[in-house]
Structure 1
Amino acid sequence: MSTIRCLRTYRLPDRPSLIWLELETSDGLVGLGETFRGAVSVETCLHDELAPWLVGRDSRHIEGISRHLLTPYVGYNGSGVEVRSASVIDIALWDLAGQRQGVPIHEALGGAARDSVPVYNTCAGYAYNTNGRRRDIGDEDKPQGPYDDQVAFMHDAGELARSLLDEGYKAMKIWPFDIYAPKSGGHLISLPDLEKGLAPFRKIREAVGNRIEVMCELHSLFGGHSALRICQALEDYDVFWVEDPLCKMDDHAALADLRRRTRVPVCGSETLGGLRPFRDLLANDALDVVMLDLAWCGGFSEGRKIAALAQAYNRPLAPHDCTGPVTLMAGLQMALHAPTAIYQEVVRATLATWYRDIVTDLPVIREGMAQPTVAAGLGTRLKDSFKQRPDLIVRESR
Structure 2
Amino acid sequence: MKITRIEVFALRAPPPERPHWTSHFIVPTANEILVRLHTDEGIDGFGLATSYTPIDFAIKAWKGGLAEQIVGEDALAPERLYQKLFGLTTSRTANERGWSREALIRISAAVDIACWDIVGKAAGLPLYRLFGGFRDEVPAYVTCGYYREGKDNAELRDEMQMLVAQGHTGFKAKAGGLPLAQDIERMALMREVIGDRAQFMVDPNRAWDLATAIEAARLLEPLNPRWLEEPVRWEDDRRALKLLAQKTRIPLSGGESEMTSYGCRAMLEEQAIQILQFDCTMMGGFTEGRKLAALCELNHVQVAPHHDCFIHAHIVAASPAGCIVEAFTDPERDPLQAELYEDPPAIRHGIMKLKQQPGLGLTLSTAALEKYGQRIV
Equivalent residue of 1:307, what SS? helix
- Which residue of structure 2 lines up, in the alignment, with residue 92 of structure 1? 114
Shift of residue 97, structure 1, vs aligned partner: 0.6
Structure 1 residues 73 and 359, CA, compared in 2 at 3 Å: closer, same or farther? closer
After superposition, the C-alpha distances for 1:207-250 in whole angstroms (9 at most, x for unaligned) are: 45412111111112232222222222211211111111122287
Read off the aligned partner of 2:78 and give its amino acid letter: I
Listed one character per residue, the Cα deviations across residues 69-105 of structure 1 (whole Å, up to 9, x for unaligned) are 2244639xxx932211111111101111111111111
Contact between 1:157 and 1:201, CA under 8 Å: does it hold in 2? no
Q: 1:265 to 1:249 in 2, by over 3 A?
A: farther
Q: How many residues align?
A: 351
What secondary structure, in the 3-state scheme, does the structure 1 residue paired with 2:234 have? coil
Asked if residue 30 in structure 1 is aligned to residue 44 in structure 2, the reply is: yes
Task: Assess, with a 3 A threshold, how the Cα gap between structure 1 residues 99 and 197 changes in structure 2: closer, same or farther.
Answer: same
Distance 1:156 1:275, change over 3 A: same
Q: CA deviation at 1:278?
A: 1.9
* TM-score normalized by the length of structure 2: 0.85
Tell me what 2:314 maps to: 333
Pairwise mapping of residues 302-381 of structure 1 onto structure 2 (< 5 A)?
Answer: 302-321=288-307, 327-350=308-331, 354-381=336-363
SS in 2 for 1:314: coil
Distance, in Å, in 1 between the alignment partners of 2:376 and 2:118 is 20
Are 2:11 and 2:34, in contact at CA under 8 Å, matched by a contact in 1? no
CA displacement, residues 110-164 of structure 1 (integer Å, 9 cap, x when unaligned): 3x21231111111167xxxxxxxxxx424x34xxxxxxxxx7xx53555544443
Alignment of 1:201-280 (within 5 A): 201-248=187-234, 251-280=237-266
Q: 1:386 to 1:74 in 2, by over 3 A?
A: same
Question: Matched residues, percent identical?
Answer: 24
Q: Return the letter of the residue paired with 2:104.
A: E
Contact 2:254 2:273 in 1 (8 A): yes
- Other structure's SS at 1:200 match: helix
Partners of 1:156 and 1:259 in 2: CA distance? 33
Aligned pairs for 1:1-398 within 5 A? 2-14=1-13, 17-37=31-51, 38-48=54-64, 50-72=66-88, 74=90, 80-110=102-132, 112-123=133-144, 136-138=147-149, 140-141=150-151, 154-178=153-177, 180=178, 193-248=179-234, 251-321=237-307, 327-350=308-331, 354-389=336-371, 392-396=373-377
**1:319 deviation in Å?**
1.6
Instruction: Write the distance in 2 (CA, Å) between the matches of 1:124 and 1:201.
Output: 9
SS in 2 for 1:334: helix
Which residue matches 1:148? none
Whether contact under 8 Å (1:356, 1:362) holds in the other structure is no
Alignment partners' CA distance in 2, 1:86 and 1:43: 13
Q: Is the 8 A contact 2:329 2:337 kept in 1?
A: no
Matched residue SS, 1:257: helix
5+ residue gaps, structure 1: 126-135, 142-150, 181-192, 322-326
**2:191–2:200 contact (8 Å) kept in structure 1:** no
The amino acid across from 2:42 in the alignment is: G
Return the letter of the residue paired with 1:95. D
RMSD of aligned C-alpha atoms?
A: 2.5
| Partner in structure 2 of residue 147 of structure 1 | none
* Pair 1:157–1:334, CA change in 2 (3 A): same
Change (3 A) 1:251 1:60: same
Any stretches of 5+ residues in structure 2 without a counterpart?
15-29, 92-100
Distance 1:284 1:227, change over 3 A: same
TM-score, length basis structure 1? 0.81
After superposing the two structures, state which structure 1 stretch, 349-358 or 6-15, moved more. 349-358
The whole-number CA distance in structure 1 between the counterparts of 2:34 and 2:266 is 31
Residue 386 (structure 1) shift: 3.1
